[in-house]
């Protein structure tokens, strides 16, 4: 089969988009939105839940897959600059990372704002007082970190390392980071969910307990500063995968390289699990290796299906997510907070829009668990419908 010229190599300038990468990114974003928006958190199928502590579920793959993809994209993006760190490149990188961090902080504030405003009834306060109460007085409990904030920090430091040491050395840097993190967490006995865990202690000292996520009542942020360190290695492993793609020898060689790399990472991660268990909350070194291995294998599979077998019709749905991932993710966060906190009076009770759609329409029809899943799928369709309009009009919103 002849491979179309537009997918044969990564060119340093005027590059076409890599369809398999867009599709993998789209699958990941769709997965993120699905697991974040069930009809009810009390009724979620097991594969759509995170592991309670150690272990791995399909849900635990979506965030690390996106981080791996970020590394691949980073390689493709900075190749046109020949991986040179200039003042202009640094300013653009810093500005983008800062913007991403601030958007993540805004989403945290917006969620708190909506939850506070949604609990206040017209008879409680005047409109002005309600808005002030919701917008300002709750900031003492504002969570500082989150998904987008972690992506901002990781993209900033990961890109600096890439531009400073060049791609051929990132694998060594990633290995050194994982060894350091393993020694830190295992050496300090920080493998359990306790107040004495060094990750929790550092985050409490830097952020304050009131500005952190809580797990079982303990201030323990799954996107904390300490557990962001191995995420830098995660992105660098994605950069290495991007380097493996950069060949003119054809897709068969790309697939072979990604398959070998992914298999090595996967087995190394499972072996390390005996010392430092696979754990998403801690973002353990074994978790980094296993998820990067699986992401690399998935990427190789998509290249085989899309580019070698030429099966592309099914790609449009996920490509619509993949070309505007951050914009759709932010939009989904805004929609989720609006649906989950605002509604209308229904008889003698106040019901949110989400509560009405799930509780009054879907649950009686499909039952609690399947109805909860149907709500998440309908939410995905809502986000896709907007993303697809942007895709059809070739509008790419870069954050």
Structural domain boundaries enclosing 277:
24-115+142-336+368-392
The tens digit of pLDDT for each residue in 284-341 reads 999 999 999 999 999 999 999 998 888 888 989 999 999 999 999 999 999 999 999 8
| Strand pairing report for 349-352 and 214-215 | unpaired
* Residue of 297, 327, 320, 288 lying closest to 393 (CA atoms): 320
Q: How many residues does the chain have?
A: 399
Q: Is residue 270 part of a domain?
A: yes
The tens digit of pLDDT for each residue in 172-219 reads 999 999 999 999 999 999 999 998 999 999 999 999 888 899 898 899
Residue 3 has a pLDDT of 39
Report the largest interatomic distance among the alpha carbons of the chain, rounded to a whole angstrom. 70
**Rounded distance, CA 289 to CA 300, Å?**
16
* Residue of 88, 89, 56 lying closest to 294 (CA atoms): 56
Q: Is residue 344 part of a domain?
A: no
Residues of the chain with pLDDT under 50: 1-14
Q: Is residue 353 part of a domain?
A: no
Angle formed by the axes of helices 285-303 and 170-187, nearest 10°: 140
**Rounded distance, CA 376 to CA 112, Å?**
21
CB atoms within 10 A of CB 23: 24
Q: Is residue 169 part of a domain?
A: yes
Residue 116 has a pLDDT of 74
Q: Is residue 250 part of a domain?
A: yes
Residue 370 has a pLDDT of 96
Contact 258, 241 (CB under 8 A): yes
Which residues are within 8 A (CB) of 361 and not within 5 positions of it... i.e. 6 or more apart? none
* 3-state helix/strand/coil string of 66-99: HHHHHHHHHHHHHHCCCCCCCHHHHHHHHHHHHH
**Rounded distance, CA 290 to CA 283, Å?**
11
In degrees rounded to 5, what are phi and psi of residue 385? Answer: -60, -35
The CA dihedral of 335, 336, 338, 340, to the nearest 10 degrees, is 160
**Rounded distance, CA 326 to CA 321, Å?**
9
Q: Is residue 50 part of a domain?
A: yes
Domain count, the chain: 1
Percentages of the chain per state (helix, strand, coil), in multiples of 5: 70, 5, 25
Residue 28 has a pLDDT of 95
**Rounded distance, CA 282 to CA 223, Å?**
9
Residue 18 has a pLDDT of 82
Residue 134 has a pLDDT of 55
Residue 217 has a pLDDT of 86
Token look-up 């350091």 returns: 180
Q: Is residue 324 part of a domain?
A: yes
Residue 130 has a pLDDT of 57
The first and second tokens of residue 185, run together, are 């967490």
**Global confidence as pTM:** 0.89
Angle formed by the axes of helices 325-341 and 19-36, nearest 10°: 10
- How far does the chain reach from its first CA to its final CA, in angstroms? 37
Q: Is residue 120 part of a domain?
A: no
Contacts of 128-136 with CB under 8 Å at 24 or more apart are none
**Rounded distance, CA 4 to CA 303, Å?**
13
**Rounded distance, CA 218 to CA 195, Å?**
7
Residue 8 has a pLDDT of 41
């Amino acid at each position: 089969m002849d491979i179309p010229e537009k997918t044969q190599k990564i060119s340093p300038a005027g590059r076409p988009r890599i369809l398999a990468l867009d599709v993998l990114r789209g699958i990941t974003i769709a997965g993120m939105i699905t697991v974040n928006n069930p009809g009810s958190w009390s009724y979620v199928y097991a594969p759509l839940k995170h592991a309670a502590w150690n272990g791995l579920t399909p849900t635990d793959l979506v965030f690390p897959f996106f981080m791996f993809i970020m590394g691949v994209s980073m390689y493709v993006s900075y190749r046109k600059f020949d991986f040179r760190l200039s003042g202009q490149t640094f300013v653009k990188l810093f500005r983008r990372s800062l913007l991403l961090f601030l958007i993540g902080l805004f989403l945290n504030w917006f969620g708190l704002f909506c939850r506070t405003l949604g609990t206040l009834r017209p008879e409680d306060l005047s409109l002005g007082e309600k808005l002030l109460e919701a917008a300002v007085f709750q900031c003492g409990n504002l969570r500082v970190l989150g998904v987008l904030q972690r992506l901002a920090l990781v993209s900033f430091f990961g890109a600096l390392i890439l531009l400073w040491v060049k791609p051929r050395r990132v694998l060594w840097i990633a290995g050194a980071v994982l060894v350091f993190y393993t020694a830190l967490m295992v050496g300090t006995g920080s493998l359990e969910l306790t107040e004495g865990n060094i990750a929790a202690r550092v985050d409490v000292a830097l952020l304050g307990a009131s500005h952190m996520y809580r797990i079982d009542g303990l201030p323990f942020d799954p996107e904390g500063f300490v557990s962001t360190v191995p995420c830098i290695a995660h992105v660098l492993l994605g950069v290495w995968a991007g380097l493996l793609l950069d060949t003119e020898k054809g897709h068969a060689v790309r697939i072979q390289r990604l398959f070998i790399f992914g298999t090595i990472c996967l087995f190394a991660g499972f072996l390390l699990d005996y010392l430092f268990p696979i754990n998403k909350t801690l973002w353990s070194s074994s978790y980094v290796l296993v998820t990067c291995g699986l992401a690399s294998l998935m990427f190789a599979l998509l290249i085989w299906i899309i580019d070698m077998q030429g099966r592309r019709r099914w790609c449009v749905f996920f490509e619509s997510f993949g070309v505007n991932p951050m914009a759709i993710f932010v939009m989904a966060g805004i929609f989720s907070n609006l649906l989950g906190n605002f509604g209308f009076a229904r008889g003698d009770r106040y019901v949110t829009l989400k509560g009405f759609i799930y509780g009054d329409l879907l649950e009686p029809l499909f039952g609690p668990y399947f109805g909860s899943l149907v709500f998440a799928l309908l939410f995905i369709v809502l986000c896709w419908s907007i993303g697809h309009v942007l895709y059809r009009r070739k509008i790419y919103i870069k954050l």
